[in-house]
Structure 1
Amino acid sequence: MTIKWEKYLRGVYSFMMLSVGAPIFVAANQLQNSYPLILTIGILCLIVCCIPKKWVRLLLSLPVMIGCLFTYFPSKIFSLLWVLQFFSSVTEEFFHLSQGKLHYLPEKTAFFLILLLIYLFITLTVDYDYWYAPFLALMGYFMMLTVFREKELLYEMIAVVAVLCVYLAARQFFSIRLLSGNARFQSFTTILLICLFTFSAILPLYLPKVHQSLEETSEPIREYLNDEGLYDTLHEYQLTGSARTGFSENDEQLGGPLYDNGEVVFTANQKVNGYWKIENKNHYTGSGWVEDPDAPIQPIQEFPVDITSYQTVMEEKENITLTLKNQAFLPYPYGNTTLTDFSLASGQTLYYLPESQRFIPVPNESTRLASLQTERLAFTREELKSSQLEADDLENQQTNLQLPKGLPQRIEDLAIELTKNEATLIRKVEAVEQYLKTSGNFRYSKTDTGHTPKERDYVDYFLFDSKIGYCDNFSTAMVVLLRTLGIPARWTKGFTDGIRTGTDEQGNEEYSILNSHAHSWPEVYFPGFGWLPFEPTPSFANPTISQPAAETTEIVHSAEEQPKESENIAETISSEKPEAISSDNTTLTPSYKIVLFSLGVCLSVLLFFLLLFRKSLRWTSYLIYLHFFASTNAVAYQKLLHHLETLVPRKPAESLQAYSQRIEQTFDLDQRFIRLTAQYEAEIYGQQADPVKFDKKTYLELTHIIRKTVYKKVMTKGSSFKK
């Protein structure tokens, strides 16, 4: 294949590759009709392929690009004034971006930049055979849209790979057909290409098994990245606002992965740590939990206020101080708890919802201090053996026995099967709890939990199909299973212990409760004891027992979900979304400092060696090109010449023959570079009808000599090659 026709093949490849990305770019920037952009790509490819002089190309390409811009950002009349106004607008947007006034890329600027990139990629592919440049750029762009904008671009990625494979196959076919030399390498690459095609065709057949294996193998790594906040950072980019809190107001549709958020929600000064309750919900819909919008609301007029009361508590009373900022809730521990004081500014009111046991300050716009006094809940399973449900208990707890119509029968069948050998209330509750927690049938994962399919019950799908979930799945499943047995149960939300961060002046321990500590669990009614918490989620301890705070989950919500204050108090209480407190006291532990210091040292050393051996590394990349990609003499010589000119610059108006003489004197190449230069000139100036046979061996030998010489020069304090 001649150089001219090889350029046309590269031009077709550039057009096909970039055209795949055009509709995605247009849709991502909320523009209409991708055909003008595809037509522009085609015209630019034609200009670059047909016109050798780069300045002429640029002069012809600019009107084409301006015409494309006018198509997408039209005015009444196309004129020079429109061109000036457009570029003035782009310049102003660039200025705002540099000043940090814009936190996104405006569509005009984005479109202008994409046209420049398209022209650059076409030039790199057609003139320099950098076929991988548009491929890598498109794949990177698609991955960014997939991660940050949650777009499904699987078929587009397949199309990009298909275009690349077709181009490489066509290129390989013409190389084998027209070049008799280098047969071993051509045969090897052809076999490799066929193997890749075969692998691509067979892979979908085994994809489900591979996906499952990858999930199980990579779970510790993904959980670690989640704990470190990587997914939360990505999720913040996906949302139009930033992630605010781990506590969700809207639980109507449960399911989907969770992203850990390490921001502080509130701090607690206390002697003993434990779970923090926010509220409970009673009505299960089959997809989530809802609350009664007409539930009674009570304003708190004076303090102290008794919150909860239990018979089995610790004897020692404990004083707790909470610091909350912009939170639409008041957390409290299990036990005989009294709210002794709550700081309210002028115009602020604290409300209480008896049905959900929820406190809501309105408005929630400032930092508040809350003082609690509690006798912690303490009970043993042995004490609960005597507790049995009576008819009056069931009559009074009908709200907490509610189940949706159409609940699959197999859920009740499973509950009966689990408890058929148990006689007491506590044993039945424990049987369900242990089945979910320790049977081994279920896997706990925040990142792998999928969304419930439409028309499927949330609990049924978890118990019998996915069997992967986090606290919401396990707690809701336990509540529903118990209700099918006629045992009153309700769904409870709050936070786990938190992280111990220090000690105050009174000797109390200080805990920081983060968004990632948001959690849910079931409460079960025991006559004579009241509502007691249980914990079916694997790796979590009972809410009345302290546990490691690292194994917690959270629910992320967007800042846009924060409604404005309503004049109607009931509407405000049911709609307000809490915000997280940003931590001003974040410190690095010594281990983190060591890791960061070591990482900095390693990066500095790596950067030093990259700078020191940058010239030698450049020749290493050329060796890789010769081994795996080079097929024609002209292109290989052009790349060799380009690399040599970075070491020994050509003089103005210096001929190739004169330059080759200087290269021979510099590197002592035994006249081989002079012969390659003569062959190249004969080929490009038409003095030789047939393409010159690509002498791979000679190119490799010359490159090794030059590379070794460069390395020696670097090691002798960077001596120059220039003469």
Structure 2
Amino acid sequence: MKRDVQSFLLYLFGFLLLWEWLRPVEQLTATDHIGMFIIFILLSSAVSFLKVRWIWQTIIKIWFILFSLNQFHYQDGFFQFSWLSLFFRDVITNFSTIISRDWAGLTDEFRTFLFFILLWLMVYLVHYWLLNRKRIFIFFFMTLIYITVLDTFTLYSAKTAIVRTVIVGFAVMGMLTYYRILAKENVNSDSFITRKWMRPLVLMIALSVIVGIISPKYGPIWPDPVPFLKAAADKGGDEGTGKGVSKVGYGEDDSQLGGPFIGDDSIVFHSEAVEKNYWKVETKDHYTGKGWIPSGSSPFQVGGDDLIPVFSIPSRVETRDETASLFLFMDYSHLIYPAGIQRVQFERNYKLEIDSTKEKISILDINSDPVAPDDYVINYKVPKYKASDLRQTSVADPGQINQDFLEKYTQLPENLPDRIKEIAESITVEETNWFDKAKAVERHFSSSGFTYSQTDVAIPGENDDYVDQFLFETKIGYCDNFSTSMAVMLRSLGIPTRWVKGYTGGDFIKNSENDSSKQIYEVTNNNTHSWVEVYFPNQGWVPFEPTKGFTNNVSIDFTSEDGTQPAAETTAPVTPAPQKDLEEDGDNSKETNQSFTLSGVWLSVKTFLNNNWKLILLTFVFVMSVAGLIYRLRGKWIPYLYLLQFRLRKRDENIGKAYLVLLDQLDRYGLARNEDQTLRNYARYIDTFFETREMSRLTDRYEQYLYHQQLPEGSWKDSRELWENLIKKTIA
């Protein structure tokens, strides 16, 4: 194959496909110097494209491999050949290691050498498929499988890699198909035929990729099987240290946290309330290093209409009274309630059994048997905290906190890694009170590389601490990881905390038909959640939300004593939810009556683009597609413009411009003039093609005008008919 643009593109596409195999290696393995391996592939492709003799290709590649090995593994300079003897002895030793099947005994130097040889073979095979067989589908297909498997089972994200591979793969397969057709039909290609083939190929690939990117993406119909496979592998490889894949939802056993779970949109209940609430089920107070267990059990019973003595809010905290109705879809015999619960109203005469350690409230009938009601109404208080009050606690004052209470809620395992306390101290080193320390730890999880995931979540091994593994090794997890880590970090600082289980507020459904001030929310198993409560002697238990991407509805007034509000803090007032979630509509709360300013105009434009970018992109693609189609068919409509343009002209000098326009149109039609062809020869060729003498006659008059710069008066009127006839013949 000649060294032309087409063959260069094939080499380039082959290099890009090979590059996709190397991109994940640096991210997923301990392999360094990936750039040198990429340069080796590029060098191998270049010497092959330039048709360097095979002996020189071999010398160049071996020199590059040895140079790279010297740079990677040896201290001596490249031209100090003593290192070569060490390398060759190492190769001989490793061959004996291979024979004995001791794969782990291979040295790093030999592994690097083998990797270069593997790349050498891959480059040769790709070039053989491209240039000799003119087929690449198998390698293209294997590349897609390779990156999709890595995307599924590892941390490597192949979203852009798949797009790149599809573009390159389709382009190279289209080119190879074109070359196979030419070879099969024994047709000589020229630039016109090549352009005619390649333009639709490029347009098809571009449209396919753009439509694929902007099209709406639907969620998976079936549950992700990967968590099952990972959990089965973890469980099989380390029996007893973890658990299998879980299904999201409320469960009582939290002694072994970790591992993936699959989603479940089964409805748990509907709530009718003035706002979204976090709904509690129970709390846990004893951290084991693997999960949470209650430190004991002390149940007692109260009447269904009695005051419920849990989550007591001190009288000094400002509160407002609210009610919420819950309509249950699952047969749970425990109460689901918001913080600040006061009383519960049932349609029947039920009793409540309260475990004061876990603050779990069970519902019993008159015979003390568990019962699952269909609905109930909860009366509760919504606190509004003041930051100035929360900041009053700096140390555990024995006069305010009972010592047994403090020990219970600051308990930690004896073998807790020291670096957990060290990182907690480094995060809060500039804070002087419990509240600011808690906020600093809470903010820590929104940065520092933490990722929320429900699938790629590790299970701590026998010697691993659940929090230590999350903070320093994986940094990937869901609410249990985030909440447990915050609780343990604060406990290491002597601040009492507890772990809370329940549900987030759910999704807005509609406004209540019975009370216009209330909305109805749907809570499913996917809303199962855990968070942290921190104890302040003068404020009681205050919830915190460390999980990345989640926000609770706790109201804290950051106004200082002098009435000012620090710029660094923000309030979180409790407001009724609108027709749709406030969190999804934050950009629409701007003032409508703004004065005309450049920044205001830019803000409006930016908002419009953010809200309509898909429509704009789709319109742009449509317009560009129509423009491309119009351009592609210009040979059919441009002649009519030329006919209209020159029909109105009467000067004889117009023959010069008209003749050049005719040459361009004939070129578009496919009758291009060769560079060394005279006008007379070209005119005879056109006349032979159209079986006429019009082109020769028109050429005679054009040459007369070209060489004498003048024509007999009225020449253009006679020549225009010849010119128009030829133009019309090119309209196919």
Q: Same fold (TM over 0.5)?
A: no
Structure with bigger gyration radius:
2
Higher relative contact order (CA 8 A, sep 6+): 1
Please report the TM-score for the alignment, with normalisation by the length of structure 1. 0.44
Please report the TM-score for the alignment, with normalisation by the length of structure 2. 0.43
